[in-house]
Amino acid sequence: MLNQINGLHHVTSLASSARANNAFFTDALGLRRVKKTVNFDNPNVYHLYYGDETGTPGTVMTYFPFPHAKRGQKGTGEVGRTAFSVPEGSLAAWADRLATLGATGLGQDTRFGEHRLLFDGPDGDSFALVETADDSRNPWTEGGVSDQMAIRGFHSADMRLADAGATGELLRYMGYEETDKQDAVTRYHVRGGNEANVIDIETLPETPAHQGAGSVHHIAFSVDNRARQLEVREALIDSGHAVTPVIDRDYFWAIYFRAPGGVLFEVATNEPGFNTDEDTAHLGSALKLPSQHAHLREKLEKTLDPID
């Protein structure tokens, strides 16, 4: 069993409108946009990152907004819901806030004793806010959401799979422990990691999801540094997974592999972080391009939709 994984690093999803996506995460949810860059593999599309003040791993929701992308179709083989941690007693205020802002899919339930507010993002993305008693993370409060209710970071990601067995086994290999089970949902925790340390696997009859706007593209797990990432890469390859080489994403190094249930996994380093090319006070304000796409700046500044 590996011991390098800290929990989630980021979750990356698809959207249909950069402007609507930016407004939802910064205005409605009050997160900070910590980076405005492009998809390194397709620089005609933005890559937008939202999180806490500095984009601490475990707080960062990211998007590839493809203009006018068709909505995804929910099903098995994907992350079906992404959950954020909020303070105890804040759900009623969140329910009011999101209802006032016209959010859809609002509902409340309890999972493993924790109260959840369910809601949809602008492309029908499934989210939850989960009341968490002892989350010590500092929220970003300059986005118009008070400290009493502001999002602390991720609580968990909820994978929906037709067959939970092999992916559960992979999570245990990666250092997660099965800690609870309720109906069709099994909860996994990584101990001693960051506070975005929960994965739920929900088992459902097979109805394969089709990726589109509102779908999660991949989930990334955090490791401290490149040395630990190489240890994880080697161990995953030894256990039969097809893992990419290490890829430089400017703000972290990344490796990717497909989990047996169909979800794309990434392992990303906490180094160097988002203030490597802008200072903390100005994170997310300027369009940042990686060196390989710097020559496209003039064109991209004309073709990318303005979002502010």
- Which residues form the interface with Zn ion (CB under 5 A)? 12, 220, 266
Using a 10 angstrom Cβ sphere, with 0-12 exposed, 13-18 middle and 19 or more buried, the burial of residue 301 is exposed
| Residue 116 or 218 having the CB closest to Zn ion | 218
Shortest Å distance, C-beta 100 to Zn ion = 32
Shortest Å distance, C-beta 47 to Zn ion = 9
| Residue 41 or 134 having the CB closest to Zn ion | 41
| Residue 119 or 252 having the CB closest to Zn ion | 252
Using alpha carbons only, what angle is made at residue 168 by residues 248 and 235, rounded to the nearest 5 degrees? 45
Of 269, 262, 260, the residue nearest 239 (C-alpha): 260
CA distance 220 to 121: 20
| Residue 164 or 170 having the CB closest to Zn ion | 170
Count other C-beta atoms under 10 Å from residue 180's C-beta. Answer: 14
Shortest Å distance, C-beta 49 to Zn ion = 10
| Residue 50 or 94 having the CB closest to Zn ion | 50
Of 149, 30, 20, the residue nearest 94 (C-alpha): 149
Q: Kind and range of the H or E element at 167?
A: helix 165-173
Shortest Å distance, C-beta 266 to Zn ion = 5
Shortest Å distance, C-beta 307 to Zn ion = 20
What is the tally of helices (H) and strands (E) in the chain?
A: 5, 16
CA distance 21 to 151: 17
